[in-house]
Every structure is written in C-alpha cells, then in structure tokens.
Amino acid sequence: MRATLMKETLKDMHKILRPVVITGAPGGGKTQIVQQVAKELGVHYIQRHLPTMPVEDFGIPMIDQPQLYYKIPDWFPAVGSVWDDGRGGIVCFDDRNQADKDIQKVMANISEERELHGVKMADGWHIVSTGNRSTDRAGASKVLGHLANRETELELDTHLDDWRSWAIDNSVKTEVIAFIGFRPNLLHDYDPQRDGANPTPRSWVAGVGDVLGVVRPEAEFECFKGAIGEGAAAEFVGFMRIYRKLPNPDAILLSPDTSDVPTDPATLYALSGALAERASIKNMPKLCTYIKRMPPEFGVLSMSTAVRRDPDLCTSDAFTNWAVDNQDVLF
C-alpha cells in the first residue's frame, strides 16, 4: 500500500479504533506516517519503542495490604489521566515484531480489552504498531498468534512520487531529491544479504541530506557510505560533482533565451532541481522561458517540484500559459 493511501486508511481506521500494524522493509517511513496522521487529525501522539522496554514499563506491581495492584505508567492514556481530555490520540508501538513475548502478551490485552492491568484506556485512543517483516532479517521475529489476530496488518510500499512529495514538504535537500529522480531504484534498495548499510528513505534523509554541507567534501563519500552503502554513495558523490559544476541557475534565469541547455540526463536532473529551488512569482516568466527549451519531461519535473514547494506559483500568468502549452505532457 502506498504511503498516501496508508495515511488515509489509518484515518479511516481511527474512526472505529481498529488496531493496526504497519509492516514493511526497514527505513521506509512507517513511524513517520503514524506521526503525520496524528498531527493531521489533531490528536495526541504517544510513541513507545518496544524492543527497549522491560515489561515493568507497562506497570509495576505494588502491595497495599491485603491487595496487590499495579502502578500504571504515566505514558498510558488511562481514563482520568492527563491524556483523557476529549481529544483522543494514537499510541504507536514501534518495532513490535522485535518485542519479547511477555510484552506482546500485554499488547494483545491492550488491543483487545483496551485496558492495562484492569485500568481502562480513555475514549478516542487508537493503537497503531509498526514492524519489519521477518523476510527482511532485521531482527523481526514471529508474532504471537493471538496478538496478530487482534490487529489489521497493512504493508507499506515505497513509491517515488509519494516520497518526493513528502521530501519537498519537509525541506529535504534539493540535491538528494534530484538524485533520487535520476536513480529511483536506489530510494529503497534494502538487501539483508548486503554487508554494511543500505539505501532507504530514512538513510537518504538523515544519513545523506542532513550531512550534506555539514562535513567537508573530501569526507562525504565515507560518511555517505556509512549511511547508504558503498555503491549508492559512489553514485551520489559522482552526481554531486555534476551538481556542483552546473551553470549558475541565477545566471540562467537572467538570460533564459540564450543560456545553454544540457543534454546529459544526470545534468538535466540536477539542473531541474536547482531551478525549481529558485522559482518565485517574480522570476516565473523567465523560468518558463527556459524550461520550455528543455526536454518536456524535465520541464515538467522542474515545474512540478517548484509548485510543490510554493503552490502560489500556480496563480501566475506565466504558469497558466506554460500549463496550456504543455497540456499534452501533463495530462
């Protein structure tokens, strides 16, 4: 299931509070999707990383003669707690496939009875879990049958367009977005047989995008290799050499009629991203003049990235005229 459909499905499931587990390859953005859904719904969000939690994190037995009771943890959205304010929320149990069996037994009771050691969960709270697949060999193990039977499992698929939209909205480095457009197969190339790191949506953002421009260029390959693996790092470093030698996009926008248009696909991907980053209402006429001279697919790529970053660009006359001229490509 694509990320866009996954988000809408989680919102639908939230209406009936059906427990859901999102599975998929490591680094695909499962937890981020749950966070985004909670934000868009305007509800509370609690996240617990199950593999690092002892069973005592779900309640400590206390003795008050002659009774035994449990001290319920503050994070649990119990009736009468600070979380019980009418907003409701989502409890995300992260990496639930790596939790030990005792933790899974507690989870099963929470999912089915909506209570923890006899203490009821507040109204409007939804249990959503995430986990890797056992076939990914990333530490996931078989889940207890009675827990799995109390959840709806949804498998997340990585899709280029969904990731690009998310990356633009979250200010991921233009260079990374442009490279993934050029080499889409490297967006999520997780191989459990590979020694070392793997390229995933998570590692591209945190291990490459966040590092780019922070470390000196001569250290980039080693840093990127440690996040996405040697092969992907070598390709990205090669792409960056092209990106850094591009004609100045500002100079192109000053002379859009006469500036050279490259023919190499890698250079066109890099230039499309660089132009989109500089697009504004003021320079839209000149941007449109130049991208009309580019191969149509790269003109559309540059414009679609630009308007995703700044939707107000769609209100300009230059955009309207460009869209009319390119309707055969757009539709």
Q: Residue 331 has what pLDDT?
A: 47
Closest CA to 136 of 183, 205, 94, 189: 189
CATH of the domain at 87: 3.40.50.300
- Per the structure, how many domains does the chain have? 2
Domain final residue pick, 124, 155, 186: 155
8 A C-beta contact, residue 208 and residue 176: yes
Alpha carbon distance 55, 164 (integer Å): 39
Closest CA to 273 of 199, 209, 189: 209
Domain final residue pick, 126, 155, 184: 155
Residue 66 token pair: 């002659």
Identify whether residues 98 and 12 lie together within a single domain. yes
Identify whether residues 207 and 224 lie together within a single domain. yes
Name the residue type at position 241.
Answer: R
Identify whether residues 151 and 166 lie together within a single domain. no
- Strands (E) in the chain, as ranges, are 20-23, 44-49, 60-64, 67-71, 89-94, 115-116, 119-120, 125-131, 152-155
Identify whether residues 61 and 203 lie together within a single domain. no
- Average pLDDT for the chain: 90
Identify whether residues 229 and 283 lie together within a single domain. yes
- The residue range of the domain holding 271 is 160-330
Q: Is the peptide bond before 66 cis (omega within 30 degrees of 0)?
A: yes
Identify whether residues 108 and 184 lie together within a single domain. no
Three-state secondary structure call for residue 127: strand
- DSSP 8-state class, residue 139: S
8 A C-beta contact, residue 136 and residue 158: no
Identify whether residues 177 and 312 lie together within a single domain. yes
Residue 285 phi/psi, 5° resolution?
-55, -40
Q: Residue 59 has what pLDDT?
A: 86
Identify whether residues 117 and 208 lie together within a single domain. no
Domain final residue pick, 155, 181, 214: 155
Positions of the chain with pLDDT under 50? 331
Identify whether residues 302 and 182 lie together within a single domain. yes
Identify whether residues 134 and 247 lie together within a single domain. no
Identify whether residues 14 and 141 lie together within a single domain. yes
The 3-state secondary structure of 202-214, one letter per residue:
HHHHHHHHCCCCC
Q: Convert the pLDDT of each residue in 43-86 to its tens digit.
A: 999 999 998 888 888 888 877 666 777 789 999 999 999 999 99
Identify whether residues 273 and 310 lie together within a single domain. yes
Q: Residue 325 has what pLDDT?
A: 81
